[in-house]
Amino acid sequence: MLVSRDDNRFFARMDVECVVRFKVNGDQNLFHGHLENLSAEGLSFNTDQELNQDTKLFIEVNPGNGSIPPLMANAKVLRCNTSEQGKFQVCCEMNICA
């Protein structure tokens, strides 16, 4: 499903549900999250990790079905809000690596 286009975005967002794995740049710890939506320039996911604005991440989005390769991207946190489920909703802009 495409998210509404009344928010002045250049690219439509698609609701996508799959696992996100990420590392904070300069750190070796691997964290997990759950992807909410994705566009050509950004993504939103939920995680247990609170992240500061402007934090740089390396992200891997893997749909897990084997027919589509994982998306790997460098990303920058635009905002991190507490979600209704008590997790953190992280919104990022991204540059696709592979």
Residue 88 pLDDT: 96
- Per DSSP bridges, beta strands 31-38 and 71-82 are unpaired
- What per-residue string of b and e applies to 36-62 under the rule 16 or more CB within 10 Å gives b? bbbbeebbbbbbeeebeeebebbbbbb
Q: For 60-73, write each residue's pLDDT tens digit.
A: 998 777 677 888 99
CB 32 within 8 A of CB 46: no
Global pTM? 0.80
Query: Hey, what domains does the chain have and what are their CATH numbers?
Result: 14-96 (2.40.10.220)
Residue 8 pLDDT grade (very low, low, confident, very high; cuts 50, 70, 90): low
